[in-house]
Amino acid sequence: MKKILFVASEGVPFIKTGGLADVVGSLPKYIDKQYFDVRVFLPKYACMKQEMKDKLTYVNHFYMDYSWQNMYVGIMEAVVDGIHYYFIDNESYFGGPKVYNDDPRYEIERYGYFCKAVLSALPLLDFRPDLIHCHDWQTGLIPVYLKERFQGNAFYRGIKTVITIHNLKFQGKWDVKTVREITGLSDYFFTPDKLEAYKDANLLKGGIVFADAVTTVSNTYAEEIKTPFYGEGLDGLLRARSRDLRGIVNGIDYEEFNPETDKYIVKNYNAMNFRKEKIKNKRALQEELGLKVDDRKMMIGLVSRLTDQKGLDLVAYIMDELCQDDIQLVVLGTGEERYENMFRHFDWKYGDKVSANIFYSDALSHKIYASCDAFLMPSLFEPCGLSQLMALRYGTVPIVRETGGLKDTVQPYNQYESTGTGFSFINYNAHEMLGAIRYAEQVYYDRKREWNKIVDRAMAADFSWKVSAGKYQEMYDWLIG
């Protein structure tokens, strides 16, 4: 039995701010229990829901030297859905009202502590991992510490590490002097071939340099990040490590996102009966949001963080033109003020066509996936993206830009071969995007049978975790040997 330990800053069902938590929560369930014992290490945040805190039991505690202090480290555990979770407990670092903090220096201090605490806690558990699977910059110091101070101890010798980059934009950077003092790492580690990058210390870089393998969340993104445009300053290092870098596309939880059993939607449906039943969700949503109730109107959904990364400057640019078309647009999300206000403005200007819901609601997101005809995702870059996978699952045809995971998961419609599961455009250009939307409108209005075949293919695509879990297992086998 090979032992794998996931270490991450968030994970469903305990704490979630984004897609990382879905991966950490779902993937272990799908790894083959016959061959692998997968467990998960998270911080114990004070802002976790009380019902989840109640599941935790005390294991042990100790004190460790960190940032010139003798710090308390508590270890808790819980078993949920057959997965064993461990938690690092420290009120001073994880006691705040939200998961992440706006002070990058403090973030580096608390996640550096978390990395060292996880490694220090291992001998007190009845679990010695063969491989530690680290997620994003918050766990970047684990491969570094493992090579630095833990290697001398026989317990740690031979433990392999993998780091998964979920979004290269976030790296954990601060000045070298401060990071050296906080982490206690020697000068040896702060050179350009290790943690130093452009005069700063960079925790993600440390993880990439010292891990035995590097993965990211789609094949295309793994290629893109070796180029200056997508590489966020680390493209040279990623090219150097390209033999150890692979892309494995994320999955989604097919039990949670299932139009046949979804408790949030008005009418359940499946690939056999969507032609008759899916429309009932559309009518209900039109009514709920105060849009004109009309079966024939093409309804486009957009569920997103409202940030530059998501391509919303393109949407802003063509919004007036798009609203001349016979469509309805339903938006859900929060983010940058200018985009929140942009959507509010168009809701006011075209009240019968645009519904801007500037908040986040799990229930409403499920209703949008189930009700809309098409789903818009014009991202500037998208490591994997989960929304397009949910849209495919619900038979809501994605319109995407060909980047990262969007390119890997949405096959563009080809009218001559009758193939494809969505519509796409290549260049980051507002009118090219509008062209793709209008092509989709044309098929929707003028060739309904073709449109329904696209929906058939979309709903038949398999992006469950089963497929991805198999690829992770291959990598674990290759590393552990």
Closest alpha carbon to 378 in 420, 325, 334, 430? 430
Instruction: Decide: 122 and 129 in contact? Cβ < 8 Å.
Output: yes
Q: How confident is the prediction along the chain (481 residues), in pLDDT tens digits per residue?
A: 999 999 999 999 999 988 899 899 999 999 999 999 999 999 999 999 999 999 999 999 999 999 999 999 999 999 999 999 999 999 999 999 999 999 999 999 999 999 999 999 999 998 999 999 999 999 999 999 999 989 889 999 999 999 999 999 999 999 999 999 999 999 999 999 999 999 999 999 999 999 999 999 999 999 999 999 999 999 999 999 999 999 999 999 898 899 999 999 999 999 999 999 999 999 999 999 999 999 999 999 999 999 999 999 999 999 999 999 999 999 999 999 999 999 999 999 999 999 999 998 989 999 999 999 999 999 999 999 999 999 999 999 999 999 999 999 999 999 999 999 999 999 999 999 999 999 999 999 999 999 999 999 999 999 999 989 999 999 999 999 8
On whether residue 260 sits in a domain, the answer given is no
On whether residue 269 sits in a domain, the answer given is no
pLDDT at 481: 85
Question: Which distant-in-sequence residues (6+ apart) come within 8 Å of 324 by Cβ?
Answer: none
For residues 435 and 475, state if they share a domain: no
For residues 212 and 346, state if they share a domain: no
For residues 228 and 289, state if they share a domain: no
Count of domains in the chain? 2
Residue 242: DSSP 8-state: G
For residues 473 and 400, state if they share a domain: no
On whether residue 452 sits in a domain, the answer given is yes
Six token digits for residue 364: 């409403």
On whether residue 268 sits in a domain, the answer given is no
pLDDT at 384: 95
For residues 279 and 327, state if they share a domain: yes
For residues 348 and 384, state if they share a domain: yes
For residues 441 and 474, state if they share a domain: no
For residues 307 and 238, state if they share a domain: no
Residue 206 to residue 211: CA distance in whole angstroms: 8
Question: For the stretch 32-53, what's the b/e string if a residue is b when 16 or more beta carbons lie within 10 angstroms of its beta carbon?
Answer: eeeebbbbbbbbbbeebeeebb
Question: For the stretch 269-302, what's the b/e string if a residue is b when 16 or more beta carbons lie within 10 angstroms of its beta carbon?
Answer: beeeebeebbbbbbebbbeebebeeeeebbbbbb
Beta bridge partners of 131: 4, 160
On whether residue 216 sits in a domain, the answer given is yes
On whether residue 23 sits in a domain, the answer given is yes
pLDDT at 18: 81
On whether residue 264 sits in a domain, the answer given is no
pLDDT at 131: 98
Which domain does 296 fall in, by range?
274-462
For residues 213 and 329, state if they share a domain: no
Q: CATH number of the domain at 383, please.
A: 3.40.50.2000
For residues 332 and 472, state if they share a domain: no
Helix, strand and coil percent figures for the chain, each rounded to 5: 40, 20, 35
For residues 340 and 429, state if they share a domain: yes
Closest alpha carbon to 4 in 26, 36, 50? 36
Angle at 178 between CA 174 and CA 184, to 5 degrees: 115
For residues 117 and 178, state if they share a domain: yes
On whether residue 295 sits in a domain, the answer given is yes
pTM of the model: 0.93
